[in-house]
Amino acid sequence: MDPFQAAVIAKLALEQTGESLGPDLFVVHLRNYAKGSTDSDLQHNQFVRQYFDQLINNPEWTDNPVHSIAESMDFAVYLQDGSLVSALSGFMASGQSPALGHAGSMAVERLVDIDPLGSVSALIETMDQPGMSSMARAGFVARLDPGNPQEFQLLTEYLQHPLTSQQEAVLFLQYFPNLNKTLSHNLISPEISITDLGNHMDRLQNALDAVNDWQANPVRSDLGDALSATEQLLLSQINGEPAP
């Protein structure tokens, strides 16, 4: 009823009691602070990041997460910081909580849309660490728009990366461009609509241009057939032909 007063109470509770609050109250207080605080943007984001870092680095909470911990992955989206993808991907590793892995995956998807360069750079930098599967990574990287020169360069670097296997590269080309959107009710960040097609056709054309560039300037010798298949699929989509 009073977001500002709730934020004041939340800040005091987090500073004075911290993780002793338990996961549910900890998450609710951090949400209330984020929603109602009038601190400067810098102080606000630093506070949320500080306590979100405490949360994700508490194995007692993340190994067997309650609902609030899964919901809290949305703080990463709220902060709009692609570097958090590295931590989120760890929750997607084999053997981790499926609920937290799913929540982390949703947060990564939205972070790639919000901060594509920062998010995918973090994914590529941590390819040698345990975390998300190559299939998931390929799908996230395929969300980049090669119409942006920096994103095209990052895509090319990804395909040429020594840890990008042929299998992963082929999966990437099958997903490319990944225009799927997830609609969800979120703890703190705004909802993302699945109905806004926006520049859908432009994205398809940008992807086709990228594929043609990779064919003319081969990024690797083992992707010729996969590039040709992706080219034909994109041409059929642009021309409005039904999928096979």
The Cα angle at residue 112 between residues 149 and 222, in degrees rounded to 5: 60
Task: Please report which confidence band the pLDDT of residue 105 belongs to, taking 50, 70 and 90 as the band edges.
Answer: very high
Average pLDDT, the chain: 93
| Burial per residue of 146-168, b for 16 or more beta-carbon CB atoms within 10 angstroms, e otherwise | bbeeebbebbbebbeeeebeeeb
Among 21-25, 113-117, 198-202, the minimum mean pLDDT is found in 198-202
CA distance 112 to 189: 14
Distance in angstroms (rounded) separating the CA atoms of residues 152 and 138: 15
Q: How many CA atoms lie within 13 A of 81 on its CB side?
A: 15
* Domains in the chain: boundaries: 1-64
Task: Say how far apart CA 137 and CA 135 lie, in whole Å.
Answer: 5
84-95 pLDDT per residue, tens? 999 999 999 888
Asked whether the predicted pLDDT for residue 8 surpasses 70, the reply is yes
Give 107-139 pLDDT, tens digit per residue.
999 999 999 999 999 999 989 988 899 999 999
Encode pLDDT of 210-237 as tens digits.
Answer: 999 999 999 999 999 999 999 999 999 9
What is the model's pLDDT at position 22?
A: 97
Judging by beta carbons within 10 Å of its beta carbon (0-12, 13-18, 19+), is residue 60 exposed, middle or buried?
exposed
Q: What is the pLDDT of residue 181?
A: 81
- What is the model's pLDDT at position 195? 52
Percent of the chain with pLDDT over 70: 95
**Calpha distance 200→187 (Å, rounded):** 28
CB atoms within 10 A of CB 52: 23
Q: Please report the pLDDT score of residue 244 as a whole number.
A: 53
Q: Which pLDDT belongs to residue 240? A: 85
For the segment 34-65, what is each residue's pLDDT rounded down to a tens digit?
Answer: 999 999 999 999 999 999 999 999 999 999 99
